[in-house]
Amino acid sequence: MNRSADVDAYIEAAPETVRPQLRDLRALIRAEAPQATEKMSYGIPFYEYGVKPGTFASRLIYFAAQKRHIALYPAGDARGLEQYLTERSTLCFPLGQPLPMEKIRALLRARVRDRAAAMKTQGAEAARASRSGGSAKRAAGSGSRRASRS
């Protein structure tokens, strides 16, 4: 089964009343982070986008249907969504209420922007290191004695 099919199956297994919101949330994430890879992790839909795939730093967002709410994590800077913030990094949207899609959109845009900036920074550091013929660590000043003599 492919990853999108896994997310399709997850949504189809959710209670019928929640499925439209999960589909809308998925569509929003895909629209705001088209470069993100859709996966399943911890048994829930997850979107990866960042510098080091497979690491915590590349985890963009997760969503889940829970018994009484739809959860979104990690929340990050949840400006405008504080009323839904229940734990350190979890947003819980009560079932039966509309999702605050514009605020979620703003959260996603900020997370994508942060990830894109980190990838651009890492790319620039790698380019500098390759031009200098050494690693980014050496380019940062922990290199050879010759560099310190100039």
Per the structure, the complete domain to which residue 62 belongs is given by: 3-149
Give pLDDT tens digits for 71-86.
999 767 788 898 999 8
**Is the pLDDT confidence value at 123 over 70?**
no
pTM of the model: 0.76
136: left (phi over 0), alpha (psi -120 to 50) or beta: alpha
Kindly report the number of other CB atoms within 10 A of residue 136's CB atom: 15
- Does the CA dihedral 33-37-39-41 come out positive or negative? negative
Q: What is the pLDDT, as a whole number, of residue 146?
A: 45
Mean pLDDT of the chain: 82
Please state the φ and ψ torsions of residue 106, each to the nearest 5 degrees. Answer: -60, -40
Give pLDDT tens digits for 109-119.
998 988 888 87
Taking the mean position of all CA atoms in its chain, how far away is CA 106? 13
CATH of the domain at 108: 3.90.1150.200
Nearest to residue 109, comparing CAs of 120, 117, 99? 117
Domain count, the chain: 1
Counts for the chain of helices (H) and strands (E), in that order: 5, 6
